[in-house]
Amino acid sequence: MISVTRDTFRLAQAFTISRGSRTEAQVLTVRVTREGVTGRGECVPYARYGETLDSVAEAIEALPGDITREGLQEALPAGAARNAVDCALWDWEAKRAGRPVHALAGLPTPGPVTTAYTLSLDTPEAMRAAAAGQGHRPLLKIKLGTPDDMPRLEAVREGAPATRIIVDANEGWTAEVYTDLAPHLLRLGVQVVEQPLPAGQDDLLREIARPLPVCADESCHDRASLPDLVGKYDMVNIKLDKTGGLTEALALRAEAEAMGFRVMVGCMVGSSLAMAPAMLVAQGAEIVDLDGPLLLAEDRETPLRFEGSVIYPANPSLWG
């Protein structure tokens, strides 16, 4: 049996990107129950990809109750619906076998990883204060994506002078804006810029200088995305809600690395249940951005353990 419920988690503070703001995380929780064993998975439907809570729930509820992970890859496209079911099936298989998911997948035992911490888009003054408050963290991710981002970036660097910085434009810049900003990104020590141009309009990245690494986010979903990224991007951001689950995420990482792409592992704003399977993909990744639970005011029972910016693998009672 496959069931799906809606859960809402309050955010610690409003979270804003170039496309809008939110004060809570709305997620879908999937439970697969067979032979007296229940596995769980979580997804965050994303309007940017044409997903709603209703449409994703309907896609999940239409699946046969006995579907396998292999059958799931054909039954649903990459996206949030397949992610939640795929992760629930992995969890179910692990609990039924009495072995952790990493062992079933032939992966090494996972260890802790260090995550970025995200500062949402705000006024320069507010972002300076936020950066100062989080300046003890080794890596900050800055949400930008407007034509007036230079004062924000300067303010963040003033607030956190010693911290590594990555920038996420969320498709909010034009080629002209990015070209103007790029030298300043370098001057201020930004290490990576995510998705500066809109997906579908990013062929211009082949024609303009890329003086610092550019990471594909909205332009990279699954392995089928990779050929079109060659020559435009240096890195890919792997998110389970885009790949459609852990199964494809592991395959995407392997193929991306084989093609010479650097790897970042990211997330939507969700709970520890969503981050737990992503921890397996994050092992050894150059950049890890699984800070969703740090942005929440409430989380799952038996949440992931954080020590500062260090995340520890999930307790099996949570997932895996």
Query: What does the alpha-carbon distance between residue 111 and residue 115 come to, in Å, rounded to a whole number?
Result: 13
Smallest CA-to-CA distance from 89 within 148, 35, 31 is with: 31
DSSP state of 137: S
Query: What does the alpha-carbon distance between residue 20 and residue 121 come to, in Å, rounded to a whole number?
Result: 9
Q: C-alpha angle with apex 276: 96 to 246, nearest 5 degrees?
A: 75
Q: 285 in the Ramachandran plot: left (φ > 0), alpha (ψ -120 to 50) or beta?
A: beta
Catalytic position from the list 95, 141, 232, 239: 239
Alpha carbon distances (Å) from 75 to 33, 97, 244: 19, 25, 11
Catalytic position from the list 95, 143, 232, 242: 143
DSSP state of 303: P
Query: What does the alpha-carbon distance between residue 75 and residue 297 come to, in Å, rounded to a whole number?
Result: 35
Decide: 166 and 193 in contact? Cβ < 8 Å: yes
Q: Does residue 143 carry a catalytic annotation? A: yes
Q: Does residue 239 carry a catalytic annotation? A: yes
Query: What does the alpha-carbon distance between residue 128 and residue 278 come to, in Å, rounded to a whole number?
Result: 30
Kindly report the backbone phi and psi dihedral angles of residue 141, in degrees, each rounded to the nearest multiple of 5, phi listed first: -110, 125
Question: For residue 76, what are the contacts with CB-CB under 8 A and spacing of at least 6?
Answer: 59, 63, 82, 85, 244
Smallest CA-to-CA distance from 278 within 315, 312, 240 is with: 240
CB atoms within 10 A of CB 122: 18
Query: What does the alpha-carbon distance between residue 298 and residue 75 come to, in Å, rounded to a whole number?
Result: 33
In the numeric block, which tokens belong to residue 17?
């990107």
Q: Which residues are catalytic?
A: 143, 239
